Amino acid sequence: MAISISTPTAYFSCFNSSNQSSLPSLPFKPLKFPPFWPWQKVKMGPLTVSPMGFGTWAWGNQLLWGYQESMDTDLQQTFNLAVENGINLFDTADSYGTGRLNGQSEKLLGKFIQEFPGQQMRNDIVIATKFAAYPWRLTPGLFVKACKASLERLQVEQIGIGQLHWSTANYAPPQELALWDGLVAMYEQGLVRAVGVSNYGPKQLIKIHDYLKARGVPLCSAQVQFSLLSMGEDQMEIKKVCDSLGIRLIAYSPLGLGMLTGKYTSSRLPLGPRAFLFRQILPGLEPLLNSLGEIAQRRGKTLSQVAINWCICKGAIPIPGIKTVKQAEENLGALGWRLSSDELLQLEYAASESPQKMIQNIFQTSCLGIKDLGYARASNLNRQVYEIQLQYKCTSRGQIGLTESPSTSSTHMLRIRETEAETFNAYATEK
């Protein structure tokens, strides 16, 4: 199934050269865009960040993303456009780039920051890098050494968020405590402003939060695979833990490695290893892609913008990857608006109908051992809520439209909340 929706230009119309005369003068040159945006930044621990960041996994990754050093000029232009439009959160890792390109993502990000022409915006950039739990990093000192190496590649004196890239609880439990102590040491030495984790399941997330808290170190963020293709029980329980403990959820792969963009079909696959995964999952995504397409067309948005906005509406900070100016421009269109509760339900129901989901990162710890965090499996919940709501809606050519007055609809929603109790209240109506 091929879906083609052009990238809307209305969002960027205020930046056209014809409008420049009416814009306020800029405090520095050569920025192309005015320093204001139709959205608010959000708090993440001691930091203030844009409601969406950008990921740099592709910067240096040849195998999966086809990186070549000839792309660096385009990458820098893409970075500049993102910063000029208010994005100040950039995620990277010391493992992004291997062999001759070891640490390439961090090196490029550091270079681009140093060469960015506006000091005010440059100083506002928050770097979130991840330190790999390599088997030879067996002591806190070795983990701190890894942090100092990242500081050199990034050309900064302090990192915004230092994150443990994955837990070793699944295969090397004794190493875990040393890595946690390494995060504490980084924080105490002022090498990082805040600490976070990545690929932690709810059980381990609670453990490390409590451990760090006892050492006087707040856990700022938890980064996991989170999207309409990755919203199963584990992911929703992680979200529940984050909400209860005041941890910011960062959503990586919010576009399902590209499957939610509408660019690919079973007969038009990406190059490289992604093709195998796409071949397995794409055939079952027709209901979800149709729903994304319907909402996108109605909103004047693209599938990517709708999928990213879903993450924002669920309270996560998505970090889609960017390689080109076109990708950055399109992703920026996910900001400044919100999906309605009906649209969220439509998307989540369609996602629950997909026979195959994204493969969970093998390093993410499981929710096994968590008895009950207050709600049922997402797929079952979406089915129950959606089927009840269908009593008060009509379907026409696949689009959903309200047939009840707002007051009547609110009454029925209250009845759903009463029957589903905290299950529906915590998940389906989350703002």
Residue 173: which residues within 8 A CB-CB, separation 6 or more?
A: none
Using only C-alpha atoms, what is the Rg of the chain? 22
Strands (E), 293-359: 317-318
Amino acid code (one letter) for 80? N
Give CA separation, 2 vs 9, 141, 262, 290, in Å.
22, 52, 7, 10
Termini Cα distance of the chain: 31
Compute the distance between CA of residue 351 and CA of residue 402 in angstroms, rounded to an integer: 21
Local structure of 339: helix, strand or coil:
coil
Compute the distance between CA of residue 105 and CA of residue 65 in angstroms, rounded to an integer: 12
Q: Which of 96, 200, 264, 386 is catalytic?
A: 96
The answer to whether the CB of 94 falls within 8 A of the CB of 149 is yes
Tokens in use for 225?
């695979």
C-alpha closest to that of 357 among 258, 229, 196, 234? 229
- The question of whether 134 is a catalytic residue gets the answer no
Beta bridge partners of 163: 130, 196
C-alpha closest to that of 166 among 153, 157, 175? 175
Positions marked catalytic: 96
